[in-house]
Amino acid sequence: MSLYGVMRTGVSGMAAQSSKLATVADNIANANTNGYKRAQTEFSSLILGNGSGQYTSGGVTPNVRYAISQEGAKVFTTSSTDLAIEGRGFFVVSDGDGTPYLTRAGSFVPNGEGELVNAAGFKLMGMPIDGTAAPVVINGLGGLQPVNIGQTALEATPSTTGVFSANLDSGTAVGATPVVSSLVTYDNLGNERIYDISFEKTAETAPPNVVSTWTATATRRDNGNTANVTFDFDPATGRVVGNPVIAIPAVGTDAPAIDLDLSGMTQVASDYTVMQASVNGNAPSAIRDVEISDEGIVFAVFENGERRATWQLPLADVTSPDNLTPEAGNVYSLGLESGDVKLGTAGQGGLGGVVSGALEQSNVDLAAELTSMIESQRSYTANSKVFQTGSELLDVLVNLKR
Dihedral of CA atoms 104, 105, 106, 109 in degrees, nearest 10, equals -150
Q: Could you say which DSSP state residue 143 is in?
A: S
Q: Do 356 and 367 fall within a single domain?
A: no
Same domain, 342 and 367: no
Q: What's the pLDDT at 394?
A: 79
**Contacts of residue 141, Cβ cutoff 8 Å, sequence gap at least 6:** 92, 100, 125, 316, 341, 343
If asked whether residues 124 and 56 sit together in one domain, one would say: no
pLDDT value for 53: 64
**pLDDT tens profile 110-131:** 998 889 999 899 999 999 887 5
Of 284, 302, 321, which residue sits at a domain end? Answer: 284
**Which residue range forms the structural domain that includes residue 22?**
3-70+363-401
For residue 136, the model assigns a pLDDT of: 63
Query: How far is residue 320's CA from residue 325's CA, in Å, rounded to a whole number?
Result: 11
Choosing from 284, 300, 325, the residue where a domain stops is 284
Same domain, 307 and 353: yes
In this structure, the answer to whether residues 264 and 213 fall within a common structural domain is yes
**Model pLDDT, residue 282:** 81
Query: Going by C-beta distance under 8 Å and a sequence separation of 6 or more, which residues neighbour residue 332?
Result: 68, 90, 101, 102, 103, 324, 325, 326
Task: Name the pTM for this structure.
Answer: 0.69
Burial class (CB in 10 A: 0-12, 13-18, 19+), 51: exposed
**Do residue 81 and residue 171 come from a single domain?**
no
Residue 131: its pLDDT value, please? 55
Domain count of the chain?
3
Rounded distance, CA 246 to CA 218, Å?
7
Based on the fold, state whether residues 273 and 163 are members of the same structural domain: yes
- CA–chain centroid gap for 101, Å, is 16
Of residues 231, 216, 155, 154, the one with CA closest to residue 183: 216
Q: What is the pLDDT of residue 184?
A: 94
Q: Are residues 315 and 371 in the same domain?
A: no
Q: Are 329 and 100 in contact (CB under 8 A)?
A: no
Angle at which helices 366-398 and 3-29 cross, to 10° = 160
Residues 81 and 66 in one domain: no
| Residue that finishes a domain, picked among 284, 307, 338 | 284
130 vs 215, 225, 309, 310, 313, CA distance in Å? 38, 31, 9, 7, 14
Q: Which CATH number fits the domain that encloses residue 253?
A: 2.60.98.20
Distance CA 146, CA 297 (A): 14
pLDDT at residue 8, rounded to an integer: 81
Which residues of the chain register pLDDT less than 50? Answer: 133
